[in-house]
A and B are shown apart, each in its own frame.
Chain A
C-alpha cells in the first residue's frame, strides 16, 4: 500500500499546531474514505459535543483509488452535523481528492477553534495558519477563491475549499465550496468551518502514487476508462446532465412542486435540461480525473436596471437538484430567474436544496397566516415571485433579523416553533431532495445514514416497473446502502457505480496494494454502515421517533399515494437488518 495514503494530518486550530500520524492498519482495513472517516469521527468527536463547538472535528478523507483511477474523484467529509445533531457526511468533487492524495495524506482532521479568522495552507509536510481577517464578511464566496488563488499553491494541482457568509453566520445548512462549482453541500459543514473561524483551506502537493504492478494497472485503467467513456449510463450525465431527469420525473408527477401542493407547474415547458442546453449552456467542466464532465455552466446575462448598455455576465452551474429547489418547489418557471437565484445562493454559500425547501415552507406558512411579513422584515413570499425570494435568501444568509436565525436552523426546527410541521419537508431533519417518486424514496430518506437520496437511491427503485412490499424495498435499500459504503470509501463518484462492479473494485484495490475478497468487501460495507449508525445512536438518533411530514402521504407521489403504515414497516425492517449486522454495542431505543 502507498505509505502516503496512511498518513493522517491532525490540525489543532486552537493552538495553531499540527502533527502527522501513520495509520497503516486503519487504512488497510478500511480502504479509505467513509470507512476511515467514521472511525476517526468516533475517535475525535466526544459524545454529546456541540456541533458548533471547538471539539467537533472536521474530517476529510480520500480513498486508495484516489488519483489512480478515473472517477475515484470525490472527497468525504465527516463531522457532527449542526443541522441534524448526529452524523454529518458530505461528498464533494473538484480537485480536493487529488490534491489531498498528492499532498501525501489519506485523511485530514481539523479540531479546535481559531482566535481569529484563519485560512490554512496545507502541503506535504507543512501547515501554515494564515490570517483571514480581511476575507471574513465578504459579500460573495467566490471572491475569496479568486484572492487565494493569486497567492497560494500551484494552479492545476491545488484545491481551494472555502465558505461564504452563510457559513460565517452559522446557518446550519451552509456549504463548503471547492473549485467554485463543487460543494460539500448538505448537513452544514460550512457552519462547522464558520464556528472555528476557518474561512478556507488550500491544499497542494506533488507526491507520486505507487502501484503494485504497473502493467496490470495500465490494463485495468484502460478497461475502466473505456467503459466510462463509452458507457450509455454515463452519456446522460455527459450530454444534458442530471437536468435530463426533469422531463421523465415531471411526466410521472414526481417533482415536488410548490412545497408539494401540486403536481404541475404552469408554463414550465422551458424548465428542462434540454432547454437549458439549447439556450443557456456555455461550458462544461469536469472534476479532476473524470472524463465525463457532468458540470454544466450556463451563461447568465443581466442588464442593469437604469443603464441598458451595462450587463453583468455570470457563469452559473445548474443541475437537476437546483432546478427543483430553486425552480419547481418555489413555483418559478422561468429558467433565467432560476439561474439568478442559483447565482444568489452560490454567492451566500448556503446549500441550495435546504434553502429552497425552507423558502417553500415559509411561503406556505405565510399563506396560512403562521408567519407574517412583520417577522420576515417586510418580505411577502408568494410562489413564483423571484424578486421576493432573492431578498429572502439575502436575509437568510445574513442572519441579522431574529426570525432568520430560527430559519437558519432548518425547516424541521422552524416548524416546531411556528407550526405547519405537516408540510415542513424534512426527513431526519434534512430538507427533502427533488424526488417524490414513491415509497422507496421516502423509506430511503428516513433510513439512509446521512438522510440523503444518494444513500440508497430509493428514487430509482420507485422508477422500476416492479411493485414491491415495504419489507422488500427496505431490504433492497439496505443492501444498496451497504455496498455504497465501499464506493464511498474509495471514494468513487456514484454516477460511475455501474462501471465499478464488485469484481472491478476488488481488482482495482489489488493493484493499489490492498487485497480483499468480494465477500470481505460486502461485509466491510455492512460494518461501515453499522458504525455510522453507532455514531447516530450515540448522539440520540432513533428510528422510532422520526417525524414524517403528513404532506408526503396526502399528496400523491409518482407511484400514487404512500401510506404511513408502509413507511413505518419499511423503517422497521431496515432497523432489524442493520442491528442484526452489527457486532458492537449499538442499540436503537
Chain B
C-alpha cells in the first residue's frame, strides 16, 4: 500500500473557512471543531492570512520517539500510527511535536493525530491542502 500524507500546497490561498477542520471532525462522528487534527489559525490577525498546522508525517518522528508505551508508533515511509488502547495519556507526543500538529481531545482525554486520510482536503474549496503520495520518495 502506498504511504500518503497531507501536503500544504499554498497556505496563501487559505481563506480561514475551517471547512477542512469541520470535515476532520465529521470523520469522527461529531460536529464542531473539537477533535480536528488540522488547525487553521491566523498569522497574527486575519488580514495577514492563515497558517495551516497539520502533521507533516516526519520521516523520523519525534512524537513517536518520546512515547513511553509505543502508542504513537512510526509508520513505514514516515509519520505515525496511534494506538489509543495503550496510550497512557501522558501528553509527551504533543509536547514533542514542535509544529503543534498534535492537540488534545479534552472530552476523551487522548491526543488527536492525523491519520492521513485526506478527507479535509476534499472539503477545501481553495486547493490549499492535498493528499500526497510519498511512498516513491522513500
Once A209-B32, A229-B125 are accepted as A-B contacts, the answer to whether A288 and B17 lie under 8 Å apart by CB is: yes
B19, B26, B32, B45: the one contacting A217 at CB < 8 Å is B26
Report B-chain residues with C-beta under 8 Å of the C-beta of A145: 45
A72–B48 CA distance with the chains assembled, in angstroms: 25
Report B-chain residues with C-beta under 8 Å of the C-beta of A229: 125
Q: A284 an interface residue at 8 Å Cβ cutoff?
A: yes
Q: A227 an interface residue at 8 Å Cβ cutoff?
A: no
A218–B27 CA distance with the chains assembled, in angstroms: 9
Q: B2 an interface residue at 8 Å Cβ cutoff?
A: no
Q: A146 an interface residue at 8 Å Cβ cutoff?
A: yes
Report A-chain residues with C-beta under 8 Å of the C-beta of B82: none
Once A229-B125, A285-B16, A287-B17 are accepted as A-B contacts, the answer to whether A208 and B107 lie under 8 Å apart by CB is: yes
Once A67-B32, A210-B30, A293-B17 are accepted as A-B contacts, the answer to whether A180 and B107 lie under 8 Å apart by CB is: no
A98–B107 CA distance with the chains assembled, in angstroms: 17
A210, A283, A289: the one contacting B18 at CB < 8 Å is A289
Report A-chain residues with C-beta under 8 Å of the C-beta of B29: 211, 214
Q: How far is the CB of A85 from chain B (nearest CB, A)?
A: 35
Q: A378 an interface residue at 8 Å Cβ cutoff?
A: no
Q: How far is the CB of A347 from chain B (nearest CB, A)?
A: 14
The answer on a CB contact under 8 Å between B17 and A208 is no
By the criterion of a CB under 8 Å from any partner CB, how many residues of chain B are at the interface?
31
B17, B41, B107: the one contacting A289 at CB < 8 Å is B17
The answer on a CB contact under 8 Å between B30 and A209 is yes
Q: Quick one: which of A101-156 are within 8 Å of B by CB?
A: 101-102, 145-146, 149, 155-156
Report A-chain residues with C-beta under 8 Å of the C-beta of B39: 156
The answer on a CB contact under 8 Å between B106 and A206 is yes
The answer on a CB contact under 8 Å between A67 and B31 is yes
Q: A582 an interface residue at 8 Å Cβ cutoff?
A: no
What's the A-B contact tally at a CB cutoff of 8 Å? 99
Q: Quick one: which of B89-135 are within 8 Å of A by CB?
A: 106-107, 123, 125-126
The answer on a CB contact under 8 Å between B35 and A208 is yes
Q: How far is the CB of B10 from chain A (nearest CB, A)?
A: 13
B21, B26, B46: the one contacting A221 at CB < 8 Å is B26
Q: How far is the CB of A550 from chain B (nearest CB, A)?
A: 43
B32, B40, B125: the one contacting A102 at CB < 8 Å is B32
Closest B residue, CB atoms, query A229: B125
Q: How far is the CB of A313 from chain B (nearest CB, A)?
A: 10
Closest A residue, CB atoms, query B104: A206
Report A-chain residues with C-beta under 8 Å of the C-beta of B126: 293
Q: How far is the CB of A509 from chain B (nearest CB, A)?
A: 13
Report B-chain residues with C-beta under 8 Å of the C-beta of A286: 15-17
Q: B49 an interface residue at 8 Å Cβ cutoff?
A: yes
Contact with A along B26-70 (1 / 0, CB 8 A): 100111111100011110111111000000000000000000000
Report A-chain residues with C-beta under 8 Å of the C-beta of B123: 225, 291
A229–B33 CA distance with the chains assembled, in angstroms: 21
The answer on a CB contact under 8 Å between A206 and B45 is no
Once A155-B41, A211-B31 are accepted as A-B contacts, the answer to whether A291 and B19 lie under 8 Å apart by CB is: yes
A283–B123 CA distance with the chains assembled, in angstroms: 20
A14–B22 CA distance with the chains assembled, in angstroms: 38
The answer on a CB contact under 8 Å between B34 and A208 is yes
Closest A residue, CB atoms, query B48: A315
Closest A residue, CB atoms, query B33: A157
- A residues near B (Cβ < 8 Å) are 67-68, 70, 98, 101-102, 145-146, 149, 155-157, 179-181, 206-211, 214, 217-218, 221, 225, 229, 283-293, 295, 297, 315
What are the nearest 4 A-B pairs in CB distance? Answer: A156-B41, A209-B31, A315-B47, A286-B17
A-B contact pairs, 6 of them (CB 8 A): A146-B45, A156-B39, A206-B107, A285-B15, A291-B123, A315-B48
